Structure formats: structure tokens, C-alpha cells
Structure 1
């Protein structure tokens, strides 16, 4: 290889690495913006972050395609939390800090994975219309991204809430299966607001402690990260 050819190859390699870093920054921006949108109940804007074949994994169910994504964010969340209003309403708190994001872009720069978490503070003020409540929530994201027409979009928003706790009692006294997961009876279209299919195996909340599989290998050894969930549900009877 001539010096010129070697230099051209080196430039091409550096451009590729720089492109991946630019991808990571754009994906991080999209993911963090999702957090800001969902905090303030900007559900229309949330839907616009998804690819045409996007989907959401939430409370044991999968909402598939743009129709499923809209069903969850617009028809369910917007109706339930903000009375059909696209935006915040008085007294409604739903903070979703986006934390510990690990972003991996595929070498062809067409797809990416995002693993992260959120620790939520949520509730309804006593002077607001509705039932006053306050709770803590922690969950993990296992997301997939795709470049669609040159723009990075969410292909899968996989949110696995791990624990809930009331503000008064905390998480140590959370009842088992405090937030029930989706069931066959709740699938769409039987339930007009339900998911299209169920997640297998069915997720369980705290005090279950399952590890959601890592989408990337061990960053030092390069070996697959194999979770041992054999003791994660010992206290459950079923």
C-alpha cells in the first residue's frame, strides 16, 4: 500500500469512528428529549420520536407499530393522565430523569442499542382534580434505535419498571405485583387500549430482582454477559 493509499484508508477509518460518535450524540439527544416530553405529557411529540415500525414494551405487553404507539401514548396515557390534553396539567408530576445511558451503534451505523434507567417521582397534588397520590418508581430501558431516512428514531422503547413505592411507606412495603402486568384478556382489539402481544417471560416487579439481558458484551472481557436470575423471584409462590 502506498503512503497515499494508507493515508486515505486512515482518513476513512477516522471518518467512520467520528460518524459513530456523532450517531451516539444524536441518539442520546433523542433519548433525553423523550424524557423531557414524557415528563410534561407531550404525548404527540413522543409518538413522533418513533420509527414507522416502532414499538413499546410496557407492563408485560408490546404495543406494535405507529398505531400501537399512538394507542398507548395518546389514547391511554393522554386520556388517563391529562384528560386528553397534549401537555402538562395543573398538579400532575411525572418526572423521568434519563440516567446511566450506554449507547452502542452497529458498525454499519444503521441500528443501535440503548441501555439506561429512570428513577421517577410522580403524583397528583392535593389541590388538583382527581385522587391525590404520590409515588416513587425505578425502571430500566432496553431500547433499540434505527436510522430512518437519515434520522435516528426509537424502534423499540423497552421500559421495565422494577420497583414502586408510596412516598409515605417507601419501597420496603410494596405489595407483591403492586402494578399488574398485561394478560391475554387485555390484548388488543378485545381491549381497545391493550397491547398487541405479551412479553415472554412475564416481567415481575420488586421484590423480584430479575436482570434484563444486556444487549452488548462485557466491555473488558468481550464475553457475553449471562444473567443468573435463579434467585430473583424466590419469594413468589407461583
Structure 2
């Protein structure tokens, strides 16, 4: 009898652990989805408060890294708000939808950190009625990007730890992605404080369409257990060797883990 009770206790413990893991995954997906809904409406203060206060917190975007909570606020509340709305919240006639889709989340065994891969397909632009009053004028564009993010659990609450967004392609609404001009969105090239809204540091190997290198996966293949070969993450020209491709992209790690 006592052995059966012990087996039942072990089973309950295993089930509790599994329920916690599944619950954590769902909370992280909800966190990322809420990020997208706030970002849609340019609620940049609310976005910034989704991030951890950990010193290794960061956002990587367009070839730059914004470090710490101060860097996060400088990007959203400074750079984005000034460029798009001039306030915290939307302005009449400006569209900036960021659906967060295809979320794959993996939590570490301790239940303290997690990684997630998401996709965004953005529609953005201005209505013709505000073309003379909005700083962007009359514009409309598409954008597709991949997130490879890290999350951290602090005081029982999941927060964004390191958001790494790779805007994979841009396209004008009129002509689509086949006619995207090179350097359609210029990479960041000046750091803070020289640029008051700039990143703390610049990153190697930024990418934009028509560069189609693979954003590395935080997970291994679910059947073989083998990661994708580094050479297969590159994108040479059709029928040519790897020398025609830029180096494979890599995912950065927190400074405390390097």
C-alpha cells in the first residue's frame, strides 16, 4: 500500500510540473500577443512596461541593440512615438497593425526563463485625409518579420527579457515585394548619445529583403533532435555557392551568459 501511495505522489508531482509548464507557455504567448495589441495602437508606455528591469534586458532592431529598460523606453517612447504619433496612443488616420502569429514557446526546466519564436505581418500607412498634417505624408506599406525572443519570470510574472525582431521584408502597397528598393528602411548607424534616440550598440550582419537568410531557431528539430546546419541558414544566389551569401545569422546571448 505504501509503495502505491509513493507512486501516486510521484505521478501527482509530475502532473503538477507539466501543468505549470503548459501554463507558463500560455502566459508567455498571451504576453507576446498583448505586446502586439499595445503596439498596434502606439501605446508605447504600456509596451515598455512589459519588459523586465534586468540589466541584460534589450531590444534588437534594424542592426542596433537598445540595452536595459532605459534603452527600451528610448526606442518605443522616444524613437517610435516621435516618428509615428507624437504621443502615447494612436492618432487619427495612422495605421500600424502588428499581428503576432505562429508562436512557439519553450520554457526552461526551472520555469524561470523561456524562448519564443513568433511572426508578424504588418500593415501600415496613413489615410489620404492626413497626408498634409502627418510627418510621414501619404504612405502605405507591408512588413513581415520574425521574433526570436527571450522571457524571464520575476516575482511570479512573465516579462519580456530580450526581444530580437528581424524585419524580414518590406514592400510598398502599390508594387509589392518584387520591387522593394534596396535599403528600403536604412539600418541604424549612430549610437546613443550621439543619436539621442539611437541604440547603445550596433550589430553585425543586419538583414533586409531580398536577403533571405534564416533567422536561427532557438529549438532543435523536434524529431531528429539536430539543429539546422549553419550553412543551410545562409542564402546564396540561385545555382551558386555559399560565397555569394552573407554569413549565417546568429542569436545573441545575455552578457551574463557569454
TM-score normalized by the length of structure 1: 0.94
Is the 8 Å Cα contact of residues 213 and 226 (structure 1) preserved in structure 2?
no
Q: Which residue in the other structure is 1:23 paired with?
A: 24
User: What do you get for the CA RMSD once the two structures are aligned?
Assistant: 1.5
Partner of residue 205 from structure 1, selected from 205, 208, 217: 208
> Deviations for 1:102-123, whole angstroms, at most 9, x for unmatched residues?
0101111000001011010000
Is the 8 Å Cα contact of residues 139 and 161 (structure 1) preserved in structure 2?
yes
Please give the secondary structure, in 2, of the residue aligned with 1:9.
Answer: helix
Q: Which residue in the other structure is 1:154 paired with?
A: 160
Q: CA deviation at 1:178?
A: 1.3
Show structure 2 runs of 5+ residues with no match: 238-243, 247-258
Cα distance in 2, alignment partners of residues 40 and 226 from structure 1: 39
Cα distance in 2, alignment partners of residues 224 and 230 from structure 1: 14
Q: Which residue in the other structure is 1:120 paired with?
A: 122
Residue 132, structure 1, aligned to residue 133, structure 2:
no
TM-score normalized by the length of structure 2: 0.86
Cα distance in 2, alignment partners of residues 144 and 235 from structure 1: 28
Q: Which residue in the other structure is 1:194 paired with?
A: 198
Please give the secondary structure, in 2, of the residue aligned with 1:51.
Answer: coil
Is the 8 Å Cα contact of residues 234 and 245 (structure 2) preserved in structure 1?
no
Q: Which residue in the other structure is 1:52 paired with?
A: 53
Q: CA deviation at 1:173?
A: 0.5
Partner of residue 218 from structure 2, selected from 215, 218, 226: 215
Is the 8 Å Cα contact of residues 96 and 120 (structure 1) preserved in structure 2?
yes
Cα distance in 2, alignment partners of residues 108 and 235 from structure 1: 39
Count residues in correspondence. 232
Cα distance in 2, alignment partners of residues 157 and 40 from structure 1: 19
Residue 68, structure 1, aligned to residue 71, structure 2:
yes
Q: CA deviation at 1:93?
A: 0.2
CA shift in 2, pair 1:18/1:149, >3 Å: same
Is the 8 Å Cα contact of residues 168 and 207 (structure 2) preserved in structure 1?
yes
Cα distance in 2, alignment partners of residues 180 and 229 from structure 1: 23
Q: CA deviation at 1:232?
A: 4.4
> Which range is displaced more, 226-235 or 59-68?
226-235
Q: CA deviation at 1:222?
A: 1.2
